[in-house]
Amino acid sequence: PTVEGPAEFSRAGIGGFFQQKPVLKNPFLGDALLQGYLRRHLPSEAVYSDLLVFGERLVYEVDGWGRECETTPPKLVTYDPWGCRVDRIVTSPAWQRMKDLSAQEGLVAIGYERTYGEWSRVYQMCKLYLFSPSSGLYTCPLAMTDGAAKVIQALGVSGPTQEAFSRLTSRNPEDFWTSGQWMTERKGGSDVGSGTETVALPQSDGTYRLSGFKWFTSATDADMTLTLGRVADRDGRTTPGSRGLSLFYAAVRDEDGMVQGIEVQRLKDKLGTRQMPTAELLLDGLTDADCLNHECTGRGVACIANMLTLTRIHNSVSAVSGMRRVLQLARDYATRRSAFGKPLKDHPLHMQTLTRMEVETRGAFLLVMDVCRLIGREETGHASQLDTHLLRLLTPVAKLYTGKQAIAVISEGLESFGGQGYIEDTGLPAMLRDAQVLSIWEGTTNVLSLDVLRCISVSQSYFLPSLSVAVRSVDSALCGLREFLQEAVLKPPGYLELAARDLAYSLARIYIGALLIDHASWEGASQSDAYAALRWCEQELCPVLSNAATGCYNTETLPQDAALVYE
């Protein structure tokens, strides 16, 4: 005879339990550090209430548009039904709404109105920091728009750039323009001095006609662009290298919104940032381009540097905001999801994970806000020489460090939702995909590290270390591990649980170190095998010991951990 199962799991019944989803609450109210930072540096009632109201708008209106941008990605329409070439990039209605909202909320304008003097940039960036994770990546065109406005302002607003500047910084959606930043060509995105093949032919009216191929152009629905090219002489000759580069401004659409002198080759098929069109463009005689540095030929890179500074700051803001958003959702979820008989938030190891993410995020926030403070001082004439140097140095530092941190923290954040963190329609995986680009565009980590070197001078000495250094590291890490374990068993219950993750990491690092040394000692090993072992063993191999020394596994700190996360 067949035995029937419980009715709740038969036919249409799929069981009675449904997990509550993580809920996004007002991101301003849920961010104690942001509020504290503003209380300390910009205690303005108007700023507070603007961010508070904006935070509500994000939750109830904008966040949904952001999802719509992700689920309705842009499309390229190359031909109209009658076979005419149109090259139209069709974006979602939500993407259009983001543009209007950006103007209305002054997301670029605030930085130029300077209502709060040297703190105006901090105010603007705090607002963007709230907006970014809900923006469907509209923060990308805004970054380039801000950068273009900054370049134009720095070079002197005049002639054709006058209209552009007022549109880029407008609060009126009818007037508001966004800008592209076309630097990367097929031969090189980091080394633009060698990679740029675009040629600029002088025209009789003083403008230029551009021909070339731009390999990556993001938010290609922009109204204008700043781009690099080489001015050709009468014989068509150009100057090679960085010295031959000039900076051009071009409005790229006619009254009907059609591109002129440009063919959109195709849209990129990307890991993330799918909300936003990124295109390959053939500049097939783009006319009416204005050279912004004709007073000083070949200063293209130096002239676009202001754009790089600003877009790198935006990138850093976006990185921290992604970390903050995943934490806000994760801590909420930890109150709603239970495992092993209690909510996730009551599991010390889970709370430790959130605490570490929180500490990373707080550190990153303060670093980025300090850069915003410095650019605000510079723009309002308050910067000392030290401030100026610091701004130059910390901009690439913040960009490269937070870009990497965001990937790590958001990845960890996804895991805190268990399997659901991997499920597309929760919206969570897109956060990780979008974070991955933060360390690539606007200068990769290595390229920015070299930029940091440009800002400092160091005397170098180089030693070729021997393998014995690595052996000593592994030995001492093993001793440390033994010492830790001997002491840990005498500690109160819960101590080892808090140490479990670091303990596992320590075991993995020491063991891999031993394997690398073993492999490098083999008679067929190469110099690189030895070098790999040495490099591996340069890192801290036994973090559990040094963390134990700081007392961070003491269970007495658990209430403080929880208070920090939920503040």
Cα torsion at 507, 508, 510, 514 (round to 10°)? 130
Per-residue binder mask for ligand UCC (CB under 6 A), 32-51, x = binder: --------------------
145 binds ligand UCC (CB under 6 A): no
- Residue 57 CA to residue 53 CA, distance in Å, equals 6
Which of 446, 468 has the CB closer to ligand UCC?
Answer: 446
190 binds ligand FAD (CB under 6 A): yes
Structure tokens belonging to residue 103: 């103007």
Least distance CB 193 / ligand UCC (angstroms): 4
Judge contact between 164 and 112, C-beta under 8 A: no
Structure tokens belonging to residue 325: 């958003």
* Closest CA relative to residue 485, chosen from 464, 506, 469, 509: 506
216 binds ligand FAD (CB under 6 A): yes
Per-residue binder mask for ligand UCC (CB under 6 A), 203-222, x = binder: ---------------x----
Judge contact between 514 and 536, C-beta under 8 A: no
Interior/surface letters 225-247, b for 16+ CB within 10 angstroms, e for the rest: bbbbbbbbeeeeebeeebebbbb
Per-residue binder mask for ligand UCC (CB under 6 A), 446-475, x = binder: -x---x------------------------
Sign of CA dihedral 175, 255, 65, 329: negative
Structure tokens belonging to residue 318: 């976006």
Structure tokens belonging to residue 312: 């790198």
242 binds ligand UCC (CB under 6 A): yes
The residue written with tokens 């980590």 in the block is: 445
188 binds ligand FAD (CB under 6 A): yes
193 binds ligand UCC (CB under 6 A): yes
314 binds ligand UCC (CB under 6 A): yes
Which of 105, 442 has the CB closer to ligand UCC?
Answer: 442
List 217, 311, 352, 547, residue binding ligand FAD (CB under 6 A):
217
Biggest alpha carbon–alpha carbon distance for the chain: 96
446 binds ligand FAD (CB under 6 A): yes
List 89, 157, 282, 447, residue binding ligand FAD (CB under 6 A):
447
Choose the stretch contacting ligand UCC; rule: CB under 6 A; options: 56-64, 190-198, 406-414, 489-497. Answer: 190-198
Phi, psi of 451 (to 5 degrees): -65, -35
265 binds ligand FAD (CB under 6 A): no
374 binds ligand FAD (CB under 6 A): no
Cα torsion at 420, 562, 412, 551 (round to 10°)? -150
Cβ-in-10-Å burial (0-12, 13-18, 19+) of 114 comes to middle
Site for ligand FAD in 401-440 (CB under 6 A): 437, 440
Which of 102, 416 has the CB closer to ligand UCC?
Answer: 102
311 binds ligand UCC (CB under 6 A): yes
- Residue 145 CA to residue 309 CA, distance in Å, equals 13
* Closest CA relative to residue 375, chosen from 385, 367, 366, 383: 383
453 binds ligand FAD (CB under 6 A): no
Task: Give the number of other Cβ atoms within 10 Å of residue 560's Cβ.
Answer: 10
176 binds ligand FAD (CB under 6 A): no
177 binds ligand FAD (CB under 6 A): no
443 binds ligand UCC (CB under 6 A): yes
Closest-by-Cβ residue to ligand FAD is 189
Least distance CB 398 / ligand FAD (angstroms): 17
List 106, 111, 189, 480, residue binding ligand FAD (CB under 6 A):
189
184 binds ligand UCC (CB under 6 A): yes
* Beta pairing class for 85-90 and 262-267: unpaired
Q: E-assigned strands of 325-367?
A: 338-339, 342-343
Per-residue binder mask for ligand UCC (CB under 6 A), 100-139, x = binder: ---------------------------------------x
* Beta pairing class for 338-339 and 342-343: antiparallel
218 binds ligand FAD (CB under 6 A): yes
Per-residue binder mask for ligand UCC (CB under 6 A), 280-309, x = binder: ---------------------xx--x--xx
According to DSSP, residue 554 is labeled: -
Judge contact between 565 and 331, C-beta under 8 A: yes
242 binds ligand FAD (CB under 6 A): no
CA–CA distances in Å: residue 134 to residues 17, 128, 208, 537: 29, 10, 39, 41
Q: Which residues bind ligand UCC (CB under 6 A)?
A: 139-140, 143-144, 181, 183-184, 189-190, 192-193, 218, 242, 301-302, 305, 308-309, 311, 314-315, 318, 441-443, 447, 451
Q: Which residues bind ligand FAD (CB under 6 A)?
A: 181-184, 188-190, 216-218, 270, 273, 278, 437, 440-441, 443-444, 446-447, 450
